[in-house]
């Protein structure tokens, strides 16, 4: 703390210190080896004339580098409002990790991994702002296979993950894959789960970032109707279920809940201080990076449920290649990883889904129950997709 205060006062700086402890176990069935790791790192980022990052113990070098730059981007400066300190998540004990491994090995997965990360972030700036977040996150992944079908699943949470429930989900999908079929090329009404929605809806959420709009890289216009009336999307920086929770952003601005889409209308952009100045607005606490590439990013996303259940024969649980979606136009063609046709009682294989994210959103209907996946709380979504096989 003394070092941070010294840098802030002496150099009129912004400072962020990240201390991370990562505990992981991994297992591969055919190698038959357990991997254990314990990693501790501490880094400091200093923003003065430009930004520099290095080891906490090398902070003098980091300050020198930050003094050397000549960045001239239009940065209006950091927050003047002090955020609250924030603590979330439960750390894991050795015996809990052993128990998790024991439980997972019972189902003989091809591979599995479990990790618990605790990150302490301290931020301070020359406006007298100083705050800290300490957050623990747990993540799990596993692959299960029978003769003809394999299932890979992951999940994350601020609290130790319920492994028994995770195993049930793996087994459920493997059971669905006992018989498989290719879908015929054509348009289908489908249910998209929260897991698939997390991937497919990303370009839509990003199109509400003010930096994208400022740079003419978003097709959405503030104030316009972009979705059906029942769609309301809220950015929730601090929630019990959110794996991306934080009480301040990388400019020290206290994070706050922001309704992005209200009853189908695009009502608020997500801002950092630069975009807020550009649009004559206030920052929403969504500055994503202090050093390399300052940008806007959401924290946790809540999609509010609809009023009644929705249903379709086909449910798309997961897709892959989401990074290939055209983030500007929203066009996508993605292979299905796991989808199930309840009518034929077969999993769908060797089939791609094709469409446009923004068109898909206009056609969405929302179920009345919500599920959580990796920082997204969403109802299952009924929409129309083109299948190609």
Partner 1 sequence: MYWDKRCQQIEKEVVIIEKGTQRAKTKIKLYGTRVVDGGIALGGGEEDIPPEKLRSIIKGKGNYVKHEIATKDHIKVDGESKYDINTLKDYLTILKDDKRVKQARVIFSYSSVIKRFSNSFGANITLEFPAVSLYLESTVKNCGKIETYTERIATIGGWEKVKKAHNLAHSARRKAIKLTRAKKPPAGRMEVVLDNEMTGVFFHEAVGHALEADEIIKGDVLSDKTGKKIASDVITLYSDGRLKTNGYTPYDDEGVKAKRTTLIENGFLKGHMHSLITASKMGAEPTGNGRAEDPTHFQIPRMTNLVLKKGDSNLNEMIKETKRGVYITGFRGGVVDTTKGQFSFTGGIGYYIERGEIKHTVKMVSFEGNILSTMKRISLVGKHYGGSGGFCGKAGQYVRVDERVPKIKIDEVVVGGSN
For partner 1, the closer CB: 192 or 334: 334
Residue 124, CA atoms < 13 Å, CB-side half-sphere: 19
Residues between 348 and 367 with contacts to partner 1, criterion CB under 8 A: 349-350, 352-354
Beta bridge partners of 225: 265
Q: Does 339 bind partner 1 (CB under 8 A)?
A: no
Q: Does 52 bind partner 1 (CB under 8 A)?
A: yes
Distance, in Å, from the CA atom of 209 to the CA atom of 211, rounded to the nearest integer, reads 6
130-145 and 86-88: which strand pairing? parallel
Residues between 254 and 283 with contacts to partner 1, criterion CB under 8 A: none
Distance, in Å, from the CA atom of 65 to the CA atom of 47, rounded to the nearest integer, reads 10
Distance, in Å, from the CA atom of 225 to the CA atom of 229, rounded to the nearest integer, reads 9
Report CA torsion sign: 65, 133, 374, 295. Answer: negative
3-class secondary structure per residue, 43-103 = EEEEECCCEEEEEHHHHHHHHHHHHHCCCCCCCCCCCCCCCCCEEECCCCCHHHHHHHHHH
Distance, in Å, from the CA atom of 375 to the CA atom of 236, rounded to the nearest integer, reads 9
Residue from 11, 18, 43, 265 touching partner 1 (CB under 8 A): that is 43
- Render 339-369 in DSSP notation, one character per residue: EEETTTTEEE-S-EEEEEHHHHHHT-EEEEE
For partner 1, the closer CB: 190 or 303: 190
Phi, psi of 298 (to 5 degrees): -80, 165
Q: Does 30 bind partner 1 (CB under 8 A)?
A: yes
Residue from 3, 6, 11, 53 touching partner 1 (CB under 8 A): that is 53
Q: Does 65 bind partner 1 (CB under 8 A)?
A: yes
Distance of closest approach, residue 255 Cβ to partner 1, in angstroms: 23
Residue from 15, 17, 51, 364 touching partner 1 (CB under 8 A): that is 51
Neighbours of 272 (CB within 10 A): 27
Residue from 18, 119, 127, 150 touching partner 1 (CB under 8 A): that is 150
101 Ramachandran zone, left/alpha/beta (phi>0; psi -120 to 50):
alpha
> Is residue 231 within 8 Å of 263, Cβ to Cβ?
yes
Q: Does 178 bind partner 1 (CB under 8 A)?
A: no
Q: Among 160-168, 182-190, 305-313, 376-384, which window interacts with partner 1 (CB under 8 A)? A: 182-190
Residue from 187, 221, 282, 308 touching partner 1 (CB under 8 A): that is 187
For partner 1, the closer CB: 219 or 267: 219
With CB under 8 A as the rule, give the number of residues binding partner 1: 79
Q: Among 26-34, 82-90, 125-133, 304-312, which window interacts with partner 1 (CB under 8 A)? A: 26-34
Q: Output the CA–CA distances (angstroms, integers) from residue 53 to 65, 124, 286, in the order listed.
A: 9, 15, 20
Residue from 38, 95, 108, 343 touching partner 1 (CB under 8 A): that is 38
Residue from 5, 9, 12, 41 touching partner 1 (CB under 8 A): that is 41
Residues between 197 and 226 with contacts to partner 1, criterion CB under 8 A: 215-219
> Is residue 385 within 8 Å of 353, Cβ to Cβ?
yes
Q: Among 31-39, 236-244, 258-266, 304-312, which window interacts with partner 1 (CB under 8 A)? A: 31-39
For partner 1, the closer CB: 10 or 73: 73
Distance of closest approach, residue 50 Cβ to partner 1, in angstroms: 4
Distance of closest approach, residue 118 Cβ to partner 1, in angstroms: 13
Distance of closest approach, residue 292 Cβ to partner 1, in angstroms: 5
Residue from 303, 337, 348, 361 touching partner 1 (CB under 8 A): that is 337
For partner 1, the closer CB: 248 or 387: 387
Residues between 111 and 130 with contacts to partner 1, criterion CB under 8 A: 111
Q: Give 119's contacts (C-beta < 8 A, 6+ positions apart).
A: 18, 19, 20, 133, 134, 135, 136, 137
Residues between 227 and 246 with contacts to partner 1, criterion CB under 8 A: none
């Amino acid at each position: 703390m003394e070092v941070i205060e010294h840098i802030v006062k002496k150099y009129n700086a912004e400072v962020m210190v990240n201390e991370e402890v990562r505990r992981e176990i991994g297992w591969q069935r055919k190698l038959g080896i357990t991997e254990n790791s314990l990693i501790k790192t501490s880094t400091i980022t200093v923003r003065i004339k430009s930004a520099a990052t290095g080891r906490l113990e090398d902070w003098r070098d980091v300050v020198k580098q930050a003094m050397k730059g000549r960045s001239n981007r239009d940065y209006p400066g950091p927050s003047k409002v002090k955020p609250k300190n924030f603590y979330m998540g439960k750390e894991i004990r050795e015996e809990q990790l052993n128990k998790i491994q024991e439980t997972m090995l019972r189902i003989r997965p091809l591979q599995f991994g479990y990790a618990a990360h605790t990150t302490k972030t301290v931020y301070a700036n020359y406006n007298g702002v100083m705050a800290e977040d300490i957050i623990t996150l747990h993540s799990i992944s596993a692959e299960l296979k029978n003769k003809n079908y394999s299932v890979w699943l992951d999940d994350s949470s601020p609290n130790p993950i319920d492994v028994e429930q995770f195993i049930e989900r793996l087994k459920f999908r493997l059971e669905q894959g006992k018989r498989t079929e290719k879908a015929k090329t054509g348009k289908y009404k489908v249910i998209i789960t929260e897991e698939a929605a997390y991937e497919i809806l990303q370009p839509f959420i990003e199109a509400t970032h003010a930096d994208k709009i400022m740079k003419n890289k978003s097709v959405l216009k503030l104030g316009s109707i972009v979705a059906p009336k029942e769609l309301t999307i809220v950015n929730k920086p601090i929630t019990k279920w959110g794996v991306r929770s934080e009480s301040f952003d990388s400019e020290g601005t206290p994070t706050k809940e922001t309704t992005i889409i209200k009853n189908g209308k695009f009502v608020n952009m997500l801002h950092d201080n630069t975009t807020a100045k550009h649009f004559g607005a206030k920052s929403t606490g969504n500055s994503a990076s202090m050093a390399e590439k300052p940008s806007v990013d959401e924290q946790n996303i809540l999609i509010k449920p609809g009023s009644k259940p929705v249903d379709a024969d086909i449910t798309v649980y997961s897709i892959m290649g989401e990074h290939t979606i055209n983030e500007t136009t929203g066009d996508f063609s993605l292979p299905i990883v796991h989808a199930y046709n309840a009518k034929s009682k077969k999993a769908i294989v060797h089939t791609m889904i094709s469409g446009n994210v923004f068109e898909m959103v206009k056609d969405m209907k929302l179920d009345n129950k919500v599920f959580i996946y990796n920082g997204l709380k969403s109802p299952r979504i009924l929409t129309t997709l083109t299948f190609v096989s």
